[in-house]
Each structure stands twice: as structure tokens, then as C-alpha cells.
Amino acid sequence: MIESRGLLITWPGGVTLRYPDLQLGPGQTLLLRGPSGSGKSTWLALMAGLLTPTQGMLVVNGAQPGQLTQAARDAWRSRTIGFLPQGARLSPALSVADNLRLAAFASGHAPEPAHQQALIKRLGLLPLLRHRTHQLSGGQALRVALARALLLRPAILLADEPTASLDDDHAQAAMQLLREQAERHGTTLIVATHDQRAVAALPDARHLHLGAAA
Ligand SMILES: Nc1ncnc2c1ncn2[C@@H]1O[C@H](COP(=O)(O)OP(=O)(O)OP(=O)(O)O)[C@@H](O)[C@H]1O
């Protein structure tokens, strides 16, 4: 599912990030850990094919994203990766329903109607569909962002600091939701975090520890 060897990226400006090798099977859960600036967000971007490694080998769900053409990579990403960005990052000018429509439109794929409806129901979004996203609480926004990430049944769900700026109760609820949804859909779940609460919420997860950037 994910195999990386000797992965290294050098940013313009000279910062070099070296990553430990990884083999992760389908449906497994991984905690990507490390202090601020150790390269967690960069690693997620590499997995999503948004960045290309300077060196090393990376296979994600049968493809080497860095070797694909832009069009093939975009198509691969929309089939393979669901992304839960830090802070949900919904479009404030649009309703919840339109945020979900926009995600499907941007990917060029229509979600399966039954899957979409089940997801909306399970995440409790039915009463919120017409709401503008600035009217949502933090927990509601997270559920919308999770629905958006899972809309096209991705094989892999990448979550970047999902508990950042949440209080303890909401952090626990967010992690439970992520775990439940990943299990239900058989999705490989990868959570980048330096929050002990997120770590404690995934006791069976594998850990990948990143050191400080060079
Ligand atoms: N766009 C960029 N241009 C140049 N260097 C960058 C860029 N983005 C990140 N870096 C470098 O890569 C390092 C790792 O950044 P990254 O955001 O991946 O770390 P992180 O572990 O996710 O940090 P945080 O926990 O604070 O979000 C940074 O310290 C920075 O020096």
C-alpha cells in the first residue's frame, strides 16, 4: 500500500528532510510523529503526490506519484487520497452541500449517491447542508471536512494535526470519529501529530518518528 525507501527532499533554501523507511499495509493506522518543523506536513504532501522527492523510492497504492504526469497524478490522487487539512479549510462563501459538491467537481469524479448519502447521514450533516460554513462549530466543520475527504472512497486518509486547537473533549471526539470512519470504510489512516491526546486515542497505531530537519 505504502512503501518508501531512502526518501529525502531538499526545499529551496536548503532545508533537507530525510525520512525513515516505511512499509504500511492496507487498512493500517499510522501516527506520524515529530516536533514542529520536523517535516510532517511535507511527508503528507509527498504521500499525496503534491511534492516530488529529491531522492528515494515511494510507492503509494501501486503508483509512484512522482513518476506520473500531472494529469495522471491528479487522477490517481482523487482515487487514492482523502485529505483532512489542519483547521478543516472549508470554503466560507459556500454552503456545506456546495463544499461537498465543489470537492467532487474539482476531482472530476461523481461520488456514488448511496455512499454520499450514507456519509452525510452518519456524520450528522443532514440538518447542516444549507448552512454556510462560517456558521458551523469547530466540531461540525471537522465532520464536513471528513465527509469531503471520504466522499470518493479514498484508499488512504491523511489527517494533518486533527486535534490542534481543540479542547480535550472535542479532541477525543475528533479522534474517535476518524478511527470509526477509517474502520468502517477500510481506509488506511495516517495522522500527523505532536499531540499526546491524538497519540493516546490510537493505541494500536504504528508510529513513524521524525527527527529535526537538517
Ligand atoms: N514551502 C517551503 N519552502 C521552503 N522550506 C519549507 C517549505 N515548507 C516547509 N519547509 C521547511 O521544511 C521544514 C518542515 O516543515 P513541515 O511544515 O513539513 O514541518 P511540520 O513537522 O509539519 O511542522 P508543524 O508541526 O509546525 O506543522 C520546515 O522547518 C521548513 O524549514
Ligand 1 pocket test: pick from 8, 9, 10, 15 the residue with the most ligand atoms within 8 Å of its Cβ.
15
Residue nearest to atom 3 of ligand 1 (CA): 11
The stretches in the chain having pLDDT less than 50 are none
Ligand 1 pocket test: pick from 7, 10, 32, 42 the residue with the most ligand atoms within 8 Å of its Cβ.
42
Residue range 132-166, pLDDT digits in tens: 999 999 889 999 999 999 999 999 999 999 998 78
Ligand 1 center from residue 196 Cα (angstroms):
20
Residue nearest to atom 14 of ligand 1 (CA): 39
Q: What's the confidence (pLDDT) of residue 143?
A: 92
Residue nearest to atom 7 of ligand 1 (CA): 11
Tell me the domains of the chain and their CATH numbers: 2-89+154-209 (3.40.50.300)
Ligand 1 center from residue 36 Cα (angstroms):
8
Q: What's the confidence (pLDDT) of residue 166?
A: 83
Q: What's the confidence (pLDDT) of residue 214?
A: 61
Write down the pTM of the prediction.
0.93
Which 3-state string (H, E, C) describes the chain?
CEEEEEEEEECCCCCEEECCCEEECCCCEEEEECCCCCCHHHHHHHHCCCCCCCEEEEEECCECHHHCCHHHHHHHHHHHEEEECCCCCCCCCCEHHHHHHHHHHHHCCCCCHHHHHHHHHHCCCHHHCCCEHHHCCHHHHHHHHHHHHHCCCCCEEEEECCCCCCCHHHHHHHHHHHHHHHHHHCCEEEEEECCHHHHHHCCCCEEEECCCCC
Ligand 1 center from residue 81 Cα (angstroms):
21
**Which atom of ligand 1 lies nearest, measured to the CA of 38?**
21
Residues with CB under 6 A from ligand 1: 11-13, 15, 17, 34, 36-42, 194, 213
Residue range 189-202, pLDDT digits in tens: 999 999 999 999 99
- ipTM score: 0.97
